[in-house]
Amino acid sequence: KAGVTQTPRYLIKTRGQQVTLSCSPISGHRSVSWYQQTPGQGLQFLFEYFSETQRNKGNFPGRFSGRQFSNSRSEMNVSTLELGDSALYLCASSLEGSPSNYGYTFGSGTRLTVV
Amino acid sequence: DQQVKQNSPSLSVQEGRISILNCDYTNSMFDYFLWYKKYPAEGPTFLISISSIKDKNEDGRFTVFLNKSAKHLSLHIVPSQPGDSAVYFCAASDVRTGTASKLTFGTGTRLQVTL
């Protein structure tokens, strides 16, 4: 079966702009979680969407938002981009959101560079 | 507040020998732990996991040990192979609560397996 698909793979934006990233989960998975990876910080949890509702949220400012559609595809939006938002953004899909079900699978990520 | 710590940023091991990667955590609510392997420009790939009700889990060349009293887990790779060279992340989750989908990651250990 197809894996988790993230688009685009690479993106360059200017400070102050906004950006939207997309994540298509594995078919049948209803949970999508988003992470930010920056050098030295590991992966940091942004938020999780389950059945079109945000169910969990990390410690990021309100400039970071997301949504999930009825087909479980999810989008993440960052407004008023800052240089520090440059990172690899990863999404992970799972059946119900729990990693203990062995279905917590990551996509290849979107590399965002803010200049 | 780094709740999951990987204190060794890098590790070099000869092919055929054992690789031991360590991880410490501070949050006693964590009850499920995972190890991921990551290559540059790709998403993390699940390796092995362990529930807090166990102290050891094995899968082929990979074994994870959990010491709950010390809040410490380790990943053993035996024998190490050049293809194991990657960054390894440990992650933790509290699957008993509604925040199971929120994985807390360490900052990673770069493993290099030399010939």
- What is the pLDDT tens value at each position of chain B, 115 positions in all? 789 999 999 999 999 999 999 999 999 999 999 999 999 878 999 999 999 999 999 999 999 999 999 999 999 999 999 999 999 999 999 887 767 778 999 999 999 999 9
Q: How does pLDDT run across A10-19, given as a tens digit for each residue?
A: 999 999 999 9
The minimal CB distance from A43 to the residues B51, B89, B95 is found for B89
Say whether residue B10 is in contact with chain A using an 8 A CB cutoff: no
- pLDDT computed for residue B10 by the predictor: 96
Q: How does pLDDT run across A66-93, given as a tens digit for each residue?
A: 999 999 999 999 999 999 999 999 999 9
* Rounded Cα gap, residues A104 and B47, in angstroms: 11
Q: Decide: B36 and B88 in contact? Cβ < 8 Å.
A: yes
* Rounded Cα gap, residues B66 and B62, in angstroms: 13
The bridge status of strand A42-50 relative to strand B10-14 is unpaired
Q: Decide: A48 and A103 in contact? Cβ < 8 Å.
A: no
Instruction: Give contacts of B106 with chain A, Cβ < 8 Å.
Output: 42
> Which candidate in A104, A111, A113 is best for mutational testing of the B interface (most B CBs within 10 A)?
A104
Decide if A100 and B103 are in contact by the 8 Å CB cutoff. no
**A99 vs chain B: nearest CA distance in angstroms?**
6
**B21 vs chain A: nearest CA distance in angstroms?**
16
Q: How confident is the model at residue A101 (pLDDT cuts 50, 70, 90)?
A: low
* Rounded Cα gap, residues B104 and B82, in angstroms: 28
